[in-house]
Amino acid sequence: MPIRIAFVSQDLKLRSMLTSVLGSDVLVTPASDPERASRMVSENRFDAVILDIDLQLLADNGPDEAPFDELANCGVPVIILAADENRREALDLVERGAYGYARKPPVVRELRAMLRSAFEKHSLKDELVAVRRQLESTVGLDDLKGSSAPMQLVYKLIRKVADLEASVLITGESGTGKELIARAIHNTGNRSKRPFVAVSCGAIPDSLIEAELFGHEKGAFTGSVGAREGYFEKAGEGTLFLDEIGELNEATQVKLLRVLQTREFNRLGSSRPIPLRARIVFATHRELRQMVTDGAFRQDLFYRVNVMNIASPPLREHSEDIPLLVHHFVRYYADLYRKPADGIEPEALALLQRFEWPGNVRELENTIQHAIIMAEERSILPCDLPEAIREQDLPDFDGELASGTFERLLRDYKFKLATDAVQQCNGNKTAAAQSLSISRAYLHRLLRQTPKADSNVTEIGPPPEYVGRSSVALLVAGE
């Protein structure tokens, strides 16, 4: 594959010489205008740029913007061509991000070697970026964890909208996996081979949001160096995921509405319309209907984005999926941190299932990450969990627990969980074990356990007729 080079210089003799001597595997396009060169490079027509430092020095002494700054923003390697007397200036540009500099007039063999090195490094960087994007965006239905009824509804809706052009609004609390749902829509549908571009609207300042979304031309606003495509263009024919759209200011809401109505947009500073080819998926953790009522969000825009709504359920509404999520995160972070842990003790899992999870799945993931780091055994123990989870309030009992040590209270609590589960399952111990996400053998151990740590307490093991009786009635305190 030939290396495509833009040579930016006003030296006609040098431009002619380089065009002829670099060889057939190097395609040189001469340009005397840095602005035109940066425009061509930004359109991905070149693999590298050679910049004559005379143009840079001329700009440094005049009112125009420096060519290097303009070309460096295009994302391709820039090689400075400089005579010996300008070596210091060339090295300054290398410190500012230039790939390197070659002597002027150039030694052809050295310049070719530098061009080949820059091309290979840039190509490898592009390949790694593409692979990273592919890995990040490869989320299908199998990557969404959960078999509960709320998650089954999410899967059903994803399949319904995957191939459609209709706008989708994903709602739900922070940490429930709204972006995962958006990626699943993208990868399940017919745009799966196209780009997936995720944008957090709340992370971009109001003064820059329009330029980031729609792009801009050179000089469109103070500080804009060269033309730049926005996220709408970067998404191409793929999917643009606009997260936290409730954070958009009124002016941007108006422009977004216009884009959705006309299916085209303009870069800032340009009147040339650009067709919108991407499919747009929206998300928010805010109540948009209430924002419409309060006048903080446009009603007409709400109707445009809310063609199809997918509610991402909070973890407390599908807590039965916690064991599946926990084991997934345990495997992932144990492998990531090279830790021996490959499971979790039932006591620790019970604590996780009792927790409210205000941060939802994201908080659960961080908790398992913490536990994997702390774990010294092959299974996560209660002591490996964060303090807030270990010391959460236990639910009320039918009666009062006997006073005693933490270990005694925990034994009593587990015994009550076991007996109540069997009672609720009409004596079916297999179903009771499944409801607690523990093995049947462990359930039997809980029902048979006899505390020995405290001599003033005697625990009576459950007789055959224990089903239907209060578990506290089976505990006899000797105090």
Same domain, 160 and 197: yes
Same domain, 158 and 124: no
Coil, helix or strand at residue 169 = strand
Ramachandran area for residue 338 (φ above 0: left; ψ -120 to 50: alpha; else beta):
left
321 or 402, which is more confident = 321
Predicted confidence at residue 408, as pLDDT, reads: 63
385 or 476, which is more confident = 385
Same domain, 112 and 260: no
The two three-digit tokens of residue 248, written as one number: 């958009």
Show the DSSP H helices in 162-309 as ranges.
178-188, 209-214, 231-234, 250-262, 288-294, 299-305
Q: Which amino acid is at 385?
A: L
Query: 352: which residues sit within 8 A by CB, 6+ positions away?
Result: 322, 326, 344, 364, 367, 385, 389
What's this model's pTM, rounded to 2 decimal places?
0.56
Domain termination residue (choose one: 282, 313, 344): 313
Same domain, 359 and 244: no
Domain with 410 in it: what CATH number? 1.10.10
Which residue, among 243, 242, 238, has the nearest Cα to 279 in the 3D structure?
Answer: 238
**Domain assignment present for 445:** yes
Mind listing the pLDDT tens digit for each residue in 272-318?
A: 899 999 999 999 999 999 999 999 999 999 999 999 999 999 998 88
The two three-digit tokens of residue 193, written as one number: 């081979």
Mind listing the pLDDT tens digit for each residue in 154-205?
A: 999 999 999 998 899 999 999 999 999 999 999 999 998 999 999 999 899 8
Mind listing the pLDDT tens digit for each residue in 394-405?
A: 444 444 444 445
Which residue, among 421, 418, 432, 475, has the nearest Cα to 451 in the 3D structure?
Answer: 475
Mind listing the pLDDT tens digit for each residue in 341-398?
A: 888 888 888 889 888 899 999 999 999 999 999 988 888 988 899 988 887 654 444 4
Query: 87: which residues sit within 8 A by CB, 6+ positions away?
Result: 101
Same domain, 275 and 334: no
Domain with 194 in it: what CATH number? 3.40.50.300
- Is the alpha carbon torsion for 232, 235, 239, 240 positive or negative? negative
Same domain, 123 and 225: no
Cβ atoms of 78 and 99 closer than 8 Å: yes
| Enclosing domain of residue 281 | 150-313
Beta-bridged to residue 329, according to DSSP, are none
**Domain assignment present for 209:** yes
Least confident of 107-116, 206-215, 221-230: 221-230
Q: Count of domains in the chain?
A: 4
pLDDT at 153 over 60: yes
